[in-house]
Amino acid sequence: MRTILITGPGGSGRTTVAAATALTAAREGTRTLLLGSDRTDTLGTALGSVTGPAPTEVTENLTAWRPDATERFRQDLTAFQTRAAGVLDLLGAARLDAEEVTPLPGAEELSFLRALRDAALSERYDLLVVDLPALPQALALLALSEELRRYLRRLLPPERQAARALRPVLGRLAGVPMPAEWLYETAARWDVELAAVEAVLTDRHTAVRLVAEPGPAGADAIQAATLALALRGLRTEALIANRVLPETAPDTWLAGLLAQQRKALADWAEPYDLHPVPHLGRDPHGTDDLDALVVPGVNPVPAPVEWPVADRLAEDGVLVWHIPLPGAIREDLDLIRRGDELVITAGRFRRIVPLPSALRRCTVAGAGLREGELRVRFAPDPDLWPAAAR
């Protein structure tokens, strides 16, 4: 399945563009699911129909779905209480009724990611269009599955599950209680679910489309978002300049806006696949207005994002890790090697990535930023690298 993630600054019209993109695909005969993340029914407003917790058919080949995060959280908590019944009874804990449960911070985001995973794995559709929250909430959401998996692996290392039979003995020898079986099972189940979300986000058929109004604020937001997405290994497939004013507008107070618009469109034309969407002169409402919006098609499959390791051992005695970071500034970059991981900081964005297996047996020999690409050099560690390979 092809997955298109759509986001942009708040108020940029990303929901309208997401709805128009899904409708365009449906009109072409593509079985499309439009997934909304907003608590309020802004998606339904754009479509001219009500959307809710159950998938709703809007028109032929187009289904809209706005998952209920509260209900999903209640179901998860009820299931957790059932699995941990023995421990809760031992502690004398009182069970929570579903009716008294309200989602905790972060629960809504997790519920939406699981809904995204379920939608992407469905065989009923050929295309999934996701109306993500506004930036920067969308960037945090896209990073959540990878970060949680890393935390789980650090707190409950999977390899320690192999010592299940020895756990009672180890507990007596160490004099401390060992983690209960259900805790490892819960961690393993969450790891599988988060890995499935991560697989959808990093799939070669998944891409991000950014929506912004052409102007100074939109330009700053798009530059930061492009860098953050690249750091996560996600490709910005297209930039949709929304609500573009006609050049034939009267030469009045709109002149200043038109000048800003021209500059933004000119700056965006080279680094992005730019798609201007003209202003309708009103807020789009209903399928007729959405049909009037000229949005890019959905058929081209994006090129995969790659972080290749170049073998320069024969020429320079190093391996070079190429990490594309468009828009990165040299002074805002920072790298820290921590064991088998590399901590990359680009401005206010940070990611901790595992090193490829060959680089784990090397030491960092330097790094440089050139033409929007971070190139980290690694020299083989004589104590770890086979002599024949050097």
Residues in the chain: 390
pLDDT at 177: 47
| Torsional class of 262: left (φ above 0), alpha (ψ -120 to 50), beta (otherwise) | alpha
Write out residues in the chain with pLDDT < 70, as ranges.
83-92, 98-101, 103-105, 158-183, 249-253, 300-302, 387-390
Whether 309-389 and 2-68+105-292 are alike in CATH topology: the answer is: no
**Cα separation values, 352 from 185, 200, 208, 340, Å:** 25, 20, 21, 10
CA dihedral 23, 27, 31, 37 (to 10 degrees): 0
Closest Cα partner for 37 from 68, 4, 71?
Answer: 68
**159 CB burial (10 A radius; 0-12, 13-18, 19+):** exposed
| Torsional class of 276: left (φ above 0), alpha (ψ -120 to 50), beta (otherwise) | beta
The tokens describing 339, both together, are 């064991």
The tokens describing 24, both together, are 């365009």
How many angstroms separate the CA atoms of 54 and 115, rounded? 11
Say which CATH superfamily domain 2-68+105-292 falls into: P-loop containing nucleotide triphosphate hydrolases (3.40.50.300)
pLDDT at 325: 95
Q: Which residues pair with 244 in a beta bridge?
A: 278
How many angstroms separate the CA atoms of 338 and 266, rounded? 42
Q: Largest Cα–Cα distance of the chain, in whole Å?
A: 84
Closest Cα partner for 26 from 115, 134, 100, 125?
Answer: 125
Domain boundaries, the chain: 2-68+105-292, 309-389
How many angstroms separate the CA atoms of 142 and 117, rounded? 12
**Cα separation values, 46 from 133, 270, 285, Å:** 15, 31, 5
DSSP string, 293-310: S----S-SPPPPP---EE
Q: Evaluate whether 251 touches 285 at the Cβ level (below 8 Å).
A: no
Exposed e or buried b for every residue in 221-241, given b needs 16+ CB within 10 A? Answer: bbbbbbbbbbbbbbbbbbbbb
Please tell me the pTM assigned to this model.
0.88
How many angstroms separate the CA atoms of 322 and 287, rounded? 44
pLDDT at 89: 67
Sheet containing strand 318-324, strands side by side: 309-312, 318-324, 373-380, 362-370
The torsion angles phi and psi of 309, rounded to 5 degrees, stand at -105, 115
Please enumerate in sequence order all residues whose Cβ is within 8 A of that of 54, keeping only pairs 6 or more positions apart, or say none. 65
CATH, domain range 309-389: 2.60.40.790
